[in-house]
Structure 1
Amino acid sequence: MPAASADSEAEFWLFGYGSLIWKPPPLYDRRIPGYVTGYVRRFWQASQDHRGTPEAPGRVVTLIERSFWETLTDHHDSPDKVWGTAYRIEAAKVAEVREYLDIREINGYTVHYTPFHPSDGSSIIKTLVYIGTPENDQFVGPQHPQKLAEHIHRSFGPSGPNKDYLLSLEEALDNLSSESGDAHVKDLATRVRKLEKQANAVGERAASATAVTNELKKVGSTDEQEEMEK
């Protein structure tokens, strides 16, 4: 069977590899887990509108063509498959969904098409996908994993903490298939959880020190009052 067309009159298919996995588009009538090939998923796209601000951009994922990625120095390996989900949109609702997606993905992403392999082994589907290519001004390229994790941990935007995006993506990928985990995402999530644990420990120590100081002040004040009354 030939691949279904993403821009056919009958149906419209969208591939989600980032937040679209756990936060799907509106008005879809089918959701299929699966994967695409020829790409690598990386947190190499700046986010000024959702997980960061223009002054302090966060980081979100984009797809990198594997042939280009192989020319770069990266600290993570990548499997041949990039897992995600495909959504089917009925023809009558395509214009509305495209408008929604163009707004949601406006920050450096452009429209591309790629074959999608359903996890159940059914026929390949031609899907539309939004990609932040290396030519767009929000593409930041490779970064040491620890520096990237620290950047994600401290970033915050209108859609919430950048770390929530990362951890939600990790969980969503783990739930798609037994082979859908992403080492790049997993390593960054592990580093961010460690940073969060360290930050919480520092906060607890600071709170404890403040409580002790306040108690000492209280005791000192009481002693002074008793001394005055003698």
Structure 2
Amino acid sequence: MSPTSQETGIQPPANGRTWRQYFPKGDLWVFGYGSLIWKPPPHHDQRVPGYIEGYVRRFWQASTDHRGTPEQPGRVVTVIERGFWETLDDPHAPLEPSSTNRVWGAAYHIPSSHAEEVHDYLDVREIDGYSVHYTPFHPFGSTSSASETASESLAAPITCMVYIGQPSNPQFLRDPAHREPQDVAEVISRGFGQSGKNTEYLYLLEKALEGIGLGSADGHVTDLVRRVRAIEGGVEATREEEKAERDVRLSLTEGAKGDEADLFE
């Protein structure tokens, strides 16, 4: 779980910008468990697959902008502290491995020359209910670097900034009926926002997690894909999944070319 200010002795500054207290050299590490996996932040010089511990990933965050509207919110992912999640009634609980608390994704290193700019960019991108937290990130496998000089030992956990839709945020699905997998799937199947179809978000996440490799499967995501495929019908779902796979490959190949006019969430 992410350390609290009481545990670390670090008190957040009045303006809410805590990152320099965790990254005194001025550079920044950001962990992505949703759209950041396939739509990286700009100016990163390393992309590192791996995981954080003590959380579960769930499509329990409403989206009133990128994948839905205020009148018809879509569904996007957040991560929930496992201790709190275990107090909730979740039909997908049997799909969570009992031996691990891992949520897989990708971490990005932002050099100090662009750290403040990228923080601003992410604050805009994650504006719909997400807030900044910090947690250890565990690298796994090889890194992808935009610069040959951007290399360091990644054996130890890395402190990462992560945007989380806390259960207290207004977009969190408090009604258990809205967290039922079939209800989530049906909302996703008809959702549409400024960044496109909600189904696209689901399929992009599915393909991005597959691309991370060993250990990155997510039973919650996989089950929702199965349900949405059944709602959409085989031909349409297959076409969208194939497009998502191409888009993930293209996005990761292009690297850090994102700009604020093209936001995914």
Same fold (TM over 0.5): yes
Q: For residues 10 and 95 of structure 1, do their structure 2 counterparts lie closer, same or farther at Cα, with a shift above 3 Å needed?
A: closer
Deviation for aligned residue 1:7: 2.3
Larger Rg: 1
Q: Is 1:185–2:206 an aligned residue pair?
A: no
> Which residue of 119, 128, 138 corresponds with 1:117?
138
Tell me if the contact between 1:44 and 1:61 (Cα under 8 Å) persists in the aligned partners.
Answer: yes
Q: Which amino acid in the other structure matches residue 21 of structure 1?
A: I
CA distance in 1, matches of 2:117, 2:60: 29
Partner of 2:159: 126
Counterparts of 1:47 and 1:13, CA distance in 2: 25
Percent identity for Structure 1 against Structure 2: 58
Alignment of 1:138-153 (within 5 A): 138-141=171-174, 142=176, 143-153=179-189
Secondary structure of residue in 1 paired with 2:123: helix
Q: How far off is 1:10 after superposition?
A: 4.4
Asked whether the 8 Å contact 2:26–2:115 carries over to 1, the reply is no
Q: Which residue of 2 aligns with 1:157?
A: 193
Which structure's residues are more often strand, by fraction?
Answer: 1
Aligned ranges 1:73-88 → 2 under 5 Å: 73-77=89-93, 78-79=96-97, 80-88=101-109
**Does the CA-based 8 Å contact 1:6-1:13 persist in structure 2?**
no
Larger mean Cα displacement after TM superposition, 82-91 or 186-195 = 186-195
TM-aligned CA deviation for residue 199 of structure 1: 9.2
The answer to whether the 8 Å contact 1:116/1:125 transfers is yes
Kept in 2, the 8 Å contact 1:14–1:86? The answer is yes
| Partners of 2:67 and 2:192 within 8 A in 1 | yes
Residue of 21, 40, 55 corresponding to 2:71 = 55
Q: Deviations over 1:26-49 (max 9, x none)?
A: 000000000000001000001011
Structure 2 CA distance for aligned equivalents of residues 166 and 107 of structure 1: 18
Shift of 1:190: 1.0
Q: Is the 8 A contact 1:6 1:14 kept in 2?
A: no
**Shift of the alpha carbon at 1:6?**
4.7
Stretch moving more, 172-181 or 30-39: 172-181
Quote the residue 1:222 is aligned against.
none
CA contact (8 A) 1:117 1:125 kept: yes
Residue ranges of structure 2 left out of the alignment (5+ in a row): 1-20, 142-153, 237-265
**Residue 118 of structure 2 is aligned to residue 102 of structure 1:** no
TM-score where L is the length of structure 2: 0.71
1:44 has 2:44 as partner: no
Distance 1:198 1:151 in 2: 18
SS at match of 2:35: coil
Q: 1:198: how far off?
A: 6.9
Q: How far off its partner does 1:8 sit?
A: 2.3
**Aligned-pair CA distance for 1:151:** 0.6
Counterpart AA for 2:102: K
TM-score of the pair, normalised by structure 1: 0.82
Partner of 1:91: 112
Specify the code of the residue in structure 1 equivalent to 2:56.
Answer: V
Aligned to 1:225: none
Query: Could you list the runs of 4 or more consecutive aligned residues of structure 1 that deviate by over 4 angstroms after TM superposition?
Result: none
